[in-house]
Amino acid sequence: MINGKNRLVKTTVAFVVAIIPSLMMV
């Protein structure tokens, strides 16, 4: 349960980190 949630958090963080620079350029 915790392990799966941890993976979800890491995926969300990686997604946000990848999106932020794109928003900054626009």
Q: What is the DSSP letter of 26?
A: -
For residue 20, the SS3 value is helix
**pLDDT given for residue 2 in this prediction:** 72
**pLDDT given for residue 17 in this prediction:** 94
And the tokens for 18? 């990848």
Report the predicted TM-score, pTM, of the whole model to 2 decimal places: 0.55
Place of tokens 């999106």: 19
By residue range, what is the domain housing residue 15?
Answer: 1-25
Domain count, the chain: 1
- What's the CA gap between 11 and 13, in Å, rounded? 5
**pLDDT given for residue 19 in this prediction:** 95
- What's the CA gap between 23 and 15, in Å, rounded? 13
**pLDDT given for residue 3 in this prediction:** 79
Per-residue pLDDT of the chain (26 residues; tens, 9 = 90+): 677 889 999 999 999 999 999 888 87
